[in-house]
């Protein structure tokens, strides 16, 4: 059983989210009327969770396949419906694998296994919306520094 809670700390809609046994995170809204944009929005956190879930799968599968993966980024784009409740009508995952000599076939298989077998976040969201993916391999030792979001 997983236990989680949010506590309203203000100002505005700022919340502290906690999962038992894990570090806390800050949630907030970008809406200038109510939020201060000091944290991730709850709905955006779903996308972060999806990216994290599948990234962990792909990293571990590639390690088991002894692939020279030195870093991985999973970029997510999602389109929302225009009417309330605004839900994601489609989600696209772009996997960017960094390393020298990575097998394209091994990466494809790792992504497939994550999406069809291992990633619970993907399995849940796939019931509500279309999820597509693409990938690319970058023959380089590492991506942009953490915190930067390359184009």
Query: What tens digit of pLDDT does each residue of 10-21 get?
Result: 999 999 999 999
Q: Are residues 59 and 34 in the same domain?
A: no
Length of the chain: 151
Q: Any bridge partners for residue 134, and if so which? A: 94
Same domain, 82 and 132: yes
Number of domains in the chain: 2
Q: What is the mean pLDDT of residues 113-122?
A: 97
Stretch 46-55: mean pLDDT, rounded?
A: 98
For 91-100, how does the pLDDT look when each residue is reduced to its tens digit (9 = 90+)? 999 999 999 9
Q: Domain span at residue 89?
A: 42-138
Same domain, 68 and 35: no
Tell me what pLDDT residue 55 has.
Answer: 98
- Residues 33, 85 share a domain: no
Strand order in the sheet with 15-19: 4-8, 15-19, 25-27
- pLDDT recorded at residue 143: 62
| Overall average pLDDT of the 58-74 stretch | 96
Same domain, 104 and 34: no
What does the pLDDT read at residue 144? 56
CATH of the domain at 71: 3.30.300.20
Task: Indicate if the pLDDT at residue 66 is higher than 80.
Answer: yes
12 in any annotated domain: yes
Is 46 inside a domain boundary?
yes
In this predicted structure, what is the pLDDT of residue 141? 67
Mean pLDDT of 18-45: 93
What's 116's DSSP letter? Answer: I
Q: Round to whole Å and give the CA distance between 113 and 105.
A: 12
Identify whether residues 116 and 101 lie together within a single domain.
Answer: yes
């Amino acid at each position: 059983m997983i236990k989680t809670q949010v506590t309203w700390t203000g100002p505005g809609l700022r919340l502290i989210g906690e999962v038992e046994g894990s570090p806390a995170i800050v949630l907030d809204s970008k809406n200038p009327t109510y939020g201060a944009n000091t944290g991730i929005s709850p709905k955006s956190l779903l996308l972060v969770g999806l990216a994290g879930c599948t990234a962990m799968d792909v990293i571990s599968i590639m390690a088991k396949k002894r692939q020279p993966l030195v870093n991985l980024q999973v970029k997510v784009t999602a389109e929302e419906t225009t009417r309330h409740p605004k839900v994601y009508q489609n989600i696209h995952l772009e996997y960017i694998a960094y390393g020298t000599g990575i097998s394209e076939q091994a990466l494809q298989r790792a992504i497939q296994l994550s999406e069809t077998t291992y990633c619970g976040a993907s399995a849940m969201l796939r019931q509500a919306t279309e999820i597509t993916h693409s990938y690319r391999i970058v023959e380089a030792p590492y991506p942009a520094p953490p915190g930067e979001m390359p184009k």
